[in-house]
Amino acid sequence: MASIESASDQRTANNSVRHQYRVLNDAEKANMVAVKDKGLEFLELVDGLGNSREVSLAKTKIEEAVMWAVKSITA
Residue 68 has pLDDT above 70, yes or no: yes
pLDDT (tens digit, 9 = 90+) per residue, 5-46? 777 777 666 666 666 777 899 999 999 999 999 999 999 999
User: Which residues, 6+ apart, have CB-to-CB distance to 34 below 8 Å?
Assistant: none
Q: Can you give the pTM of this predicted structure? A: 0.76
Residue 3 has pLDDT above 60, yes or no: yes
> How far apart, in whole angstroms, are the C-alpha atoms of residue 60 and residue 43?
9
- Mean pLDDT to the nearest integer, 69-73: 94
Which pLDDT does position 22 carry in this prediction? Answer: 79
Residue 73 has pLDDT above 70, yes or no: yes
